[in-house]
Structure 1
Amino acid sequence: MARTRRGAMTAALLTVAAAGSVMTGCSSGSSATDDGRAPAPSLSQGQETGPAQSPSSTVGAGPVLAVKIDNVSAARPQTGLDAADVVYAEQVEGGLSRLMAIYASKLPKAVGPVRSARESDLELLRQFDMPTLAFSGAQHKLLPVIAKAPLHAVSADQGSSAYYRSASKVAPHNLFLHPKQLMRSAPGAAALTTGFHFGAAPAGGSPETSRTVRFPAARFTFAWSASKHRWLVSMDGTPTVTTDGKRVAPATVVVQYVKVHNSKYHDVLGNNTPYTETVGSGTAKVLRDGKVFDVDWKRPTAGGGTNFTTTDGAPMNFAKGQVWVVFAKA
């Protein structure tokens, strides 16, 4: 799919809050967001409907919706994670993890908790055609870079009524999003220009019942369930369920080995922000159907998707359903 770039109007889509500079961080403060902002008004327990948004401010359907999702223990259980087509797990400051959920097939009623964007997200999202990125904010020096990226950035700092605060969690882990106030409808699977192939499993593979991926201060475990024909997700040793009690269980898990190095950005505590390179090539482990497959990955340019191939060079087919991609340090 051809990639389009925004012109001069891009900068107007991302308005920096007049309250001051925006900072990121992974600390779990109780009265401010991870970006140093005061929390938005809270809703009562169980209230899900935010203020109505005027039709003139609604984004038309077409691009995928990408949402940055908080993943520290205080943010769990998350909302809407099971409805994503693709979930990316990346390393952030302090060796912790954060998620990027991609929605194309359907839009859940709510998603969250929503947190801040990172520089790596911009490279990752280049594979989609003008995606809508929903995030709480970003390090103030990164905001101009986001403004120039080929995407539609809608942060909570802009005062969008698509965001709301819930009393069910403490700040900064209580920011949620109503996706349908950003997009009229889900764009459909055709918007997933990731390069992924779906179909019958290739020959080979080795039996696999469980796989754990460790970051310095986080870990993901995927356990095969033959009865559900899915991989049951656990994070930091705790089963991953959504706020409505659904167990998060992708059909395919990709452990993609990539280069992770320091970026020029830091969080509010002075911790360096890791940069995860998703353009290039390397190896990966693909989990599907109770097996693990050794594959190669290649993404020559930022504007293209990632191709996964078996040892004989054939495309690695994924199982139909949700895909998790965990970026592990090579």
Structure 2
Amino acid sequence: MDDPTRRPGPLTDAADGAAPHRARRTVLRAALATAAALGAGTLAACGSDEDQGDASPFTGEPHKGERVLAVKVDNVAAARPQNGLDHADIVYTEQVEAGLSRILAVFASDLPATVGPVRSARESDIELLRQFGEPALAFSGVQSKLLPTLEAAPLRLLPPGELPGGYERDPDRRVPHNLYLKARRAQQAAEGASAPRDIGYRFGSAPGGGRATDRQTVRYPGARFTFTWSADRGRWLVAMDGAAARARDGGRLAPATVVIQYVTVRPSRFHDSSGSITPYTETVGSGDALVLRDGMAYEAHWSRPSASGGTAFTRADGGDRLPFARGQVWVALVKKS
């Protein structure tokens, strides 16, 4: 078994049929960064109902952080409770092979000591992360056919082979559900990664309308998330596959805003080692959404015209931006019917 804390040869992820990660890089950074910046400028020009000031564009809270770090996190029963999700600014959930779910956690304002278990990257991650500019991405493996595309993307890649001393194994858990990223070491190593920028979110007081709700369930073919409103905490308590979702220290995972974003999920050209087709989740385009905040559910519309731009969420009954509650945001990317 490879030790990820050393810098040996191949980077592998046994459960996903991952391939060796060779240290080659393409050189399209400048053009891609320019395109991303233009996209961000276009989105920012759309304006906001409330002045965001110097607050985080991801949470609406005061501290932005310096660099964006995305981490691919395992989400099967053997991987729970995960480390660090309670510190993330944004948590994305998505469908992977066999109808299971996986998590992409985005950090900037608050870094935990460790994040994980870390697992392998997917093609959908490239499109989803373009809106952040050129963020760092920590992952544990990638299919050999996908590797050139991933290396050509505007990402600062931080697999174990590229980050000496940046990962550790938990001996009390079994492989492949026991690899953890040292998040502060990763962010320090991510020189040149993008700073937090506008990705389309707006924050402010709860709007009128909506409907009172105390629970909402999101279903994937082989997984489900339930979000239950806690008036005492002013947060949505997360359950995964029917069990309360907790941080490693025992605290409940509890975002301020939950976005259920209905998207196209189609087969990709890749599959895992067992032959299951890898889904591709499209996050460029437009569609319906449901925004949960303050014990209310709001019908919404999402729009992301280009990969380099952010995602605008507007009220379904008009063109006004729909403000989120300040704090952590969870986005469940769910196949539209």
Question: Which residue of 14, 18, 23 maps to 1:35?
Answer: 18
Give 1:203's aligned residue: 208
Residues 64, 103 of structure 1: 8 Å contact kept: yes
Give 1:85's aligned residue: 89
Aligned partner of residue 229 in structure 2, secondary structure = strand
Give 1:182's aligned residue: 186
Q: Measure, in 2, the Cα distance between the counterparts of 1:150 and 1:94.
A: 29
Give 1:327's aligned residue: 333
Match status 1:252 vs 2:257: yes
Aligned partner of residue 115 in structure 2, secondary structure = coil
- The correspondence of residues 143-292 of structure 1 with structure 2, limited to 5 A, is 143-158=147-162, 160-184=164-188, 191-292=196-297
Paired amino acid for 1:306: T
Give 1:11's aligned residue: none
Match status 1:98 vs 2:114: no
Question: Which residue of 134, 138, 150 maps to 2:138?
Answer: 134
Aligned partner of residue 243 in structure 1, secondary structure = coil
- Percent identity at matched positions? 53
Cα 1:177–1:278 shift into 2, 3 Å? same
Residues 199, 319 of structure 1: 8 Å contact kept: yes
Paired amino acid for 2:289: A
Cα 1:235–1:106 shift into 2, 3 Å? same
Q: Measure, in 2, the Cα distance between the counterparts of 1:229 and 1:278.
A: 29
Q: Measure, in 2, the Cα distance between the counterparts of 1:171 and 1:282.
A: 38
Deviation at 1:158, TM superposition (A): 3.4
Deviation at 1:18, TM superposition (A): 4.2
Cα 1:242–1:202 shift into 2, 3 Å? same
Stretch moving more, 105-114 or 150-159 = 150-159
Residues 67, 195 of structure 2: 8 Å contact kept: no
How many pairs align? 283
Aligned partner of residue 334 in structure 2, secondary structure = strand
Deviation at 1:25, TM superposition (A): 4.2
CA RMSD of aligned residues (A): 2.2
Structure 1, gaps ≥5 residues long = 1-15, 27-33, 38-60
Cα 1:185–1:322 shift into 2, 3 Å? farther
Residues 24, 36 of structure 1: 8 Å contact kept: no
Paired amino acid for 1:329: K
Q: Measure, in 2, the Cα distance between the counterparts of 1:313 and 1:230.
A: 27
Output the TM-score relative to the length of structure 2.
Answer: 0.80
Aligned partner of residue 138 in structure 2, secondary structure = strand
Q: Measure, in 2, the Cα distance between the counterparts of 1:24 and 1:304.
A: 34
